[in-house]
Amino acid sequence: MRDKKAQVAVEFMICILFLVAVMIVFTIYSWSKDSERRHVQSKLEAEKICWQLSNLINTAMYSKGYYAEFSLPMKIDGSSYNVSITNNTVVADYRGHSCIYQVTVTDISFKNSSMSKTAPFCLCGGDFYINNTNDELFISNRGTIGCNVGC
């Protein structure tokens, strides 16, 4: 009789070990899926920034007197990113992924209180406005945070 109890205890321990192993595999799988979801979500956020900025520029190009304020996040999912603007493209670079949208701009510049730079230029996170006045299309900082406009 004593041998049967020992056999049941061993079988019970094997069953518990199997369940623990299944839980570990399930946990690793769900962590990897969550990481993949966050990566895709961050990539979509970079693409959304690129699309919105190109849409603002295209709208401003054909609307005299157009003025719009917009904000760019400082980081996407804790990582830095880069938005480059030329006279015909908006490019958002994020973790080795580039999103490119075409714009129909013939001449765009970046202005702040201390300087003016024609395209190409880069934007970092912060508050900006886009303005089309006197046949001049430009983007400018709204805040006091400096932005590296060199690409």
The residue-averaged pLDDT of 97-126 equals: 82
The residue-averaged pLDDT of 114-121 equals: 79
Has residue 126 got a pLDDT over 80? yes
Has residue 144 got a pLDDT over 70? no
The pLDDT of residue 3: 57
Nearest CA among 125, 76, 132 for reference residue 104: 132
Ramachandran assignment for 59, one of left (phi > 0), alpha (psi -120 to 50 degrees), beta (any other)? alpha
Long-range contacts of 99-103 (CB under 8 A, 24+ apart): 99/46, 99/47, 99/50, 99/51, 100/50, 101/50, 101/51, 101/53, 101/54, 102/54, 103/54, 103/57, 103/58, 103/61
Q: In the predicted model, what is the mean pLDDT of the chain? A: 84
Q: What percent of the chain has pLDDT over 70?
A: 89
The pLDDT of residue 28: 96
- Encode pLDDT of 46-96 as tens digits: 899 999 999 999 898 888 888 999 988 888 888 888 898 888 889 998 888
CB 45 within 8 A of CB 99: no
CB 97 within 8 A of CB 139: no
The Cα 48–Cα 106 span in angstroms is: 23
